[in-house]
Structure 1
Amino acid sequence: MTALDAAGEIFAVTDVLVDQPMLRRSLSDPSAGPEQRVELARTLFGSRVGPHALETIERVVRDSWTDPRHFARGVEREGVVVALKGAAGEGSLKRVTDELHTVSRAVAGSADLTALLRSAVYDLEAKRGLVGGLLEAGHPVTKLLAERAIAGHRRTFSQTLDSYLEFAADLAEVAVAKVTVAHPLDEARLERLRAALTARVGRPVSLQVDVDPAVIGGINVSIGHDVYESTV
């Protein structure tokens, strides 16, 4: 079984936990010992998911959770990490992150797309078809994570994808710099910017570049909570 398959199974378990509050409370009950919770998880999911997915779920179940909703999100987060690790293992992590960033910005930059993906009128399959049209040539991991982001229960599609990109950056041990410029930068300027930011933060930097004409003659860069502005 591939990492992609395991991630899909973990997401399916997440949906069960979201739909069944009593179940997620039982699996995260602090009054029960970790092994008791793990045994319950094995009973419920052992015949439904593969070894990789089950091992991941057991690891989350062993942790301490004060809020059952956080537990369900923790399971989902591990599914995202499993998918990203699979991409990294085959040397495709950069492609996946580039594709996720591109589709995230495409949706965030379109009021119509954002409204459609948040609308209760359109069912999940219709929304998946809409995003699938933007990712026809996308990597399988990109498609899986984009589909998962559509089902996000708390945030917008683009916000959810941005959180996935943060997981990918942690996995690759790089800092993500969100760069907004008035006009596209050529490769030479991008390399100078990457080198300057790498020197500033002390670790490799991945650039996510967006073009916004409102940033006249300058550049806005944010890395985590730090924001930098300068002229290009």
Structure 2
Amino acid sequence: MNGASREALAAARERLDALADNTSVDVTRLAGELAAVTALLDREGGLRRALTDPAQPGEAKAALVRGLLGTQVGEETLDLVSGMVRSRWSRSRDLTDAVEELADTADLIAAERAGNLDDVEDELFRFGRILAGSGELRAALANRTAGGDAKSELLHTLLGGRADPVTERLVTRLVTAPRGRSLDNGIEALSKLAAARRNRMVAEVVSAIPLTDQQKERLGAALARIYGRRVHLNLDVDPEVLGGVRVRIGDEVINGTIADRLEEASRRMAG
């Protein structure tokens, strides 16, 4: 997002955080209602444009929201969405994206309250790895002719009882309503959103064998010193990595593997 939309989203995030500070607020219900609003805005282009029309007064747009949703969602959802439509948006679709982000964040807050946010982060990462390794599963979940109920049932078979309920809800929403995103991009965005709840960066770490607890602590501390903030480690094992580790944070890759060093030596000899 750019310009006005970025400012509007920042304000919406602050309002959601203020709501979440009140433990009496049912954030799981809030997440579900915001997801329903996302689906409505995604489906109704005319409504989306009306709610982001800069020529219309903010109060008029907020009144429209209350008229449409007042009997269907709770007061917290009404307050959030009404505040969002009072803001200025660069593109009408940015409003839908922002409501969707708040829905996902509300579910992550539920995991945080339960002390399970770390588990959800790890499960999202693992699910991404499973997708990367299974073309059959990817095809089934991305199949446009398959109904949402069938995909939800498949995900429940895979994740039900094995993953945190928040993980299952997040992945199910992504798969049944991808809104133009690939599964890979969607899972990555959810992982970053989970990390942001803890103000942490996410590092994907690949090693030939599992790292010990001491090695994980040392690596985490070293990366925190480099980047000036806590870093959450998503760990993976690849037997083809001959030694050391390979770390990716965003677009930056830190190579420390024997295989990489051998490849570099070969290039120098060939030159």
1:190 maps to 2:216: yes
Which runs of no fewer than 5 residues in structure 1 stay unpaired? none
1:139 maps to 2:164: yes
Matched residue pairs, number?
232
Measured against aligned partners, the alpha-carbon deviations of 1:96-143 in whole angstroms (never above 9, x if no partner) come to 222222222212221111111111231111111222222122222112
Partner of 2:206: 180
1:116 maps to 2:140: yes
Which runs of no fewer than 5 residues in structure 2 stay unpaired? 1-24, 259-271
Contact 1:105 1:158 in 2 (8 A): no
State the shift of 1:146 in Å: 1.2
Contact 2:38 2:100 in 1 (8 A): yes
The one-letter code of the counterpart of 2:209 is H
State the shift of 1:214 in Å: 4.3
The one-letter code of the counterpart of 1:129 is E
Contact 2:241 2:257 in 1 (8 A): no
Aligned-residue CA RMSD (Å) = 1.8
> Percent of counterpart pairs with the same letter?
36
State the shift of 1:80 in Å: 0.8
Distance (whole Å) between structure 1 residues aligned to residue 46 and residue 248 of structure 2: 41
Partner of 2:225: 199
1:29 maps to 2:26: no
Q: Please, which of 217, 221, 224 is the counterpart of residue 243 of structure 2?
A: 217
Partner of 2:127: 103
Distance (whole Å) between structure 1 residues aligned to residue 88 and residue 207 of structure 2: 43
Contact 1:30 1:64 in 2 (8 A): yes
Aligned 1:84-103 pairs, distance under 5 A: 84-103=108-127
* Pair 1:207–1:40, CA change in 2 (3 A): same
Contact 1:30 1:66 in 2 (8 A): no
| SS of residue paired to 1:207 | strand
The one-letter code of the counterpart of 2:96 is A
* Pair 1:120–1:165, CA change in 2 (3 A): same
1:227 maps to 2:253: yes
**Greater alpha carbon shift after TM alignment, 115-124 vs 8-17:** 115-124
TM-score by length of 1: 0.92
Partner of 1:154: 180
| SS of residue paired to 1:217 | coil
Distance (whole Å) between structure 1 residues aligned to residue 174 and residue 154 of structure 2: 13
